Amino acid sequence: MERHIDASVRYELTIHIRRGRFRSDSHIRTAFAYIPYIKPEQPSLPRQIAYREFSPLPGPESDPEGWKTLEPAVFHGVLSPNHSVSIQCTVSLAKPLSYTRGSLIPCMLKLDSDDEAALDMFAKPSAIVLHLRRRVRLFIRSSELKKFENAPWKEYVGEMGTARWWPSFDAGPDSSARYLEGEIKLPHDLKPTTTIPHFTISYFVVLCPFKVPLLNSDGQDLLSEEVNIATMHADGPRPHAYSDAPAHNPNAQRSDEYRATGSSFSLNMRQV
Task: Look up the CATH number of the domain holding residue 142.
Answer: 2.60.40.640
Beta-ladder partners of 167: 180
Decide: 203 and 184 in contact? Cβ < 8 Å: no
Q: How far apart are CA 116 and CA 128, in angstroms?
A: 16
Would you state the pLDDT for residue 214? 79
Indicate if the pLDDT at residue 208 is higher than 80. yes
Q: Kindly tell me if the per-residue pLDDT of 115 is higher than 90.
A: no
Q: Are 246 and 265 in contact (CB under 8 A)?
A: yes
**How far is residue 20 from each of residues 15, 47, 226, measured CA to CA in Å?**
16, 64, 54
Residue 202 lies in a domain: yes
Strands (E) across the chain are located at 11-17, 26-32, 67-69, 73-80, 83-94, 98-100, 104-112, 130-139, 153-162, 164-167, 177-185, 194-196, 199-207, 223-230
Q: Rounded to an integer, what is the distance from CA 132 to the centroid of its chain? A: 4
More confident residue, 9 or 206: 206
> Tell me, what's the pLDDT at 194?
93
Nearest-5° angle of CA 4, CA 5, CA 10? 125
What is the tally of helices (H) and strands (E) in the chain? Answer: 3, 14
Is residue 15 in a domain? no
- The reply to whether 3 falls in a domain is no
Lowest-pLDDT range, 34-48, 74-88, 120-134, 152-166? Answer: 74-88
Q: Compute CA distances 189 → 162, 197, 239, whole Å.
A: 16, 23, 18
Domain count, the chain: 1
Average pLDDT rounded to a whole number, residues 68-94:
91
Residue 119 lies in a domain: yes
The confidence score (pLDDT) of residue 173 equals 59
**Mean pLDDT along residues 8-25:** 88
24 part of a folded domain: no
Residue 32 maps to a domain = no
Distance (Å, whole) CA 205 – CA 105: 9
Q: Average of pLDDT values for 142-149?
A: 53
Residue 26 has pLDDT above 80, yes or no: yes
Range of the domain at 134: 38-271
Residue 257 has pLDDT above 90, yes or no: no
Q: What CA–CA distances, in Å, run from 31 to 6, 38, 261?
A: 20, 22, 54
For 122-144, write each residue's pLDDT tens digit. 999 999 999 999 999 988 766 55
**Mean pLDDT to the nearest integer, 236-250:** 68
Average pLDDT over every residue of 79-94: 89
pTM of the model: 0.80
165 within domain boundaries: yes
pLDDT higher for 202 or 213?
202
Q: Is residue 257 included in any domain, yes or no? A: yes
> Strand 223-230 and strand 98-100: pairing?
parallel
CB count within 10 Å of CB 187 equals 12
Q: At 3, which amino acid appears? A: R
pLDDT of 196 over the 80 cut: yes
The mean per-residue pLDDT over the stretch 236-255 comes to 59
Which whole number is the average pLDDT over 25-33? 92
